[in-house]
């Protein structure tokens, strides 16, 4: 069953296109069920984040192009529209890609830890949709083990770096002293919580958290000494914000140009710094055209991120070596699924012999033979049946001088070990 990884990310596609192919969590389950119902698609997982949308798919031979066609059709795109932006990895390259994604080696911020949680969420969603079979389920379990080892054995995560941290760093470049800044955070997910944590460490003057669910906003704001508001009250509080960081799962913009225009009038030309790290975007793109408004999108963070990439390059090299080794191990397991296992055949033959001889021994007892006689027949006959073919092959090997086969048989039956189980060697 061929394995492919198909997708686009921040390196291959602009944010406007990534928005079009993003899957939200509520719809991803139905999308998975639709994907695995396609002819030739055996199993699948969808990973969709602000920086990437990827399909991991096990297909029947000859069906490798089905996921690409399905992705265009599912998002109502013109056939072939995505072709120049998509990448596809097959077999061991697909495994390597998954490992690199989960360890943060393929992230905009090298080594960022959030992606592993997103891969785990995608795995749970696929399990809920019953779109996984043994090969990909095993691959995901292996992926999590690899990611843990990379974190443990390298310094890829030695510095606290994430998209949220990068956004805060960028804000520091505009507002040198965050202790004088009021920050408005829109959303209450992991990215926003990380931003709130970094801002609290920087002792931002005031933190406001806006969320569709006021209780969720209150819980997050309370952890970091902030103030919570409902998303509906955003227009009344926007003018207070020197810095706005937004990351929600909304399908339409939350902050409009008209809202920001009114806020800037109230601010009397005091600048506003805005970072939109959501896909689809939370802030209308033309907000950046307004005077004294500095709007940065997810793709704009890359200049700040370059510095972090340099600091983690050596650790990434070590991580790649770990990944290469683990790719080989997983692919060896995967190939073994298609190889006939002689141990299973041997056991099956032995069980057939056992049943035949046991039936005859029971017949002997039923016809008045003594238990000792029946047991002796069972032991002798079963031994002869089990050893007949191996013995014939070994006699033939001895006559032909096939030492490799003779030594292999010794290892197989433990005949090259002493009484304590230690391997013996000829002098």
Residue 182 annotated as binding site: no
Residue 177 annotated as binding site: no
Residue 262 annotated as binding site: no
Residue 258 annotated as binding site: no
CA angle 162, 163, 168 (to 5 degrees): 95
Residue 113 annotated as binding site: yes
Q: Among all chains, which residue has been given the structure tokens 């009484």?
A: 419
Residue 43 annotated as binding site: no
Residue 49 annotated as binding site: yes
Of 44, 50, 170, 184, which is the active-site residue?
50
Residue 187 annotated as binding site: yes
Residue 203 annotated as binding site: no
Residue 180 annotated as binding site: no
| 50 flagged as catalytic | yes
Residue 191 annotated as binding site: yes
Residue 51 annotated as binding site: yes
Tell me how far CA of residue 394 lies from CA of 221, 383, 400, in angstroms.
77, 16, 10
Which two structure tokens, joined as six digits, stand for 113? 């830890």
Residue 248 annotated as binding site: no
Residue ranges at the known binding site for NADP(+): 187-192
Output the known binding site for substrate.
49-52, 107, 112-114, 118
Catalytic residue numbers? 50
List the binding residues.
49-52, 107, 112-114, 118, 187-192
């Amino acid at each position: 069953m061929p394995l492919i990884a198909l997708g686009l990310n921040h390196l291959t596609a602009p944010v406007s296109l990534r928005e079009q192919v993003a899957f939200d969590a509520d719809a991803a389950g139905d999308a998975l069920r639709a994907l695995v119902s396609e002819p030739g698609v055996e199993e699948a997982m969808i990973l969709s984040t602000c920086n990437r949308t990827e399909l991991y798919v096990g297909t029947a031979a000859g069906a490798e192009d089905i996921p690409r066609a399905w992705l265009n059709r599912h998002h109502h795109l013109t056939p072939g529209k995505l072709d120049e932006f998509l990448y596809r990895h097959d077999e061991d390259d697909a495994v390597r890609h998954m490992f690199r994604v989960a360890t943060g080696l393929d992230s905009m911020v090298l080594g960022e830890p959030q992606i592993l949680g997103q891969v785990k969420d995608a795995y749970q969603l696929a399990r809920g949709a019953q779109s996984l079979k043994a090969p990909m389920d095993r691959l995901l379990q292996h992926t999590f083990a690899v990611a843990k080892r990379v974190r443990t054995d390298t310094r890829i995560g030695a510095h606290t770096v994430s998209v949220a941290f990068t956004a805060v760093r960028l804000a520091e470049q505009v507002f040198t002293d965050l202790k004088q800044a009021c920050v408005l955070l829109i959303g209450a997910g992991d990215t926003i919580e990380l931003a709130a944590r970094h801002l609290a460490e920087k002792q931002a003057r005031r933190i406001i958290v806006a969320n569709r669910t006021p209780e969720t906003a209150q819980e997050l704001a309370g952890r970091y000494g902030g103030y919570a508001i409902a998303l509906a009250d955003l227009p009344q509080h926007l003018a207070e914000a020197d810095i706005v960081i937004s990351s929600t799962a909304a399908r339409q913009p939350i902050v409009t140009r008209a809202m920001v225009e009114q806020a800037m009038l109230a601010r009397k030309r005091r600048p506003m710094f805005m970072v939109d790290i959501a896909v689809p975007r939370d802030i209308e793109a033309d907000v950046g055209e307004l005077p004294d408004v500095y709007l940065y999108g997810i793709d704009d963070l890359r200049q700040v991120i370059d510095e972090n990439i340099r600091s983690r390059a050596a650790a990434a090299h070590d991580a790649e070596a770990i990944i290469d080794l683990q790719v080989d191990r997983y692919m060896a397991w995967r190939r073994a699924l298609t190889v006939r296992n002689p141990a299973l055949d041997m056991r099956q033959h032995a069980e057939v012999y056992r049943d035949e001889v046991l039936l005859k021994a029971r017949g002997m007892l039923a016809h008045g033979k003594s238990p000792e006689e029946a047991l002796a027949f069972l032991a002798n006959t079963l031994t002869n049946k089990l050893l007949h073919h191996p013995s014939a092959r070994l006699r033939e090997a001895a006559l032909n001088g096939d030492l490799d086969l003779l030594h292999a048989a010794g290892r197989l039956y433990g005949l090259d070990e002493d009484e304590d189980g230690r391997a013996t060697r000829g002098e």
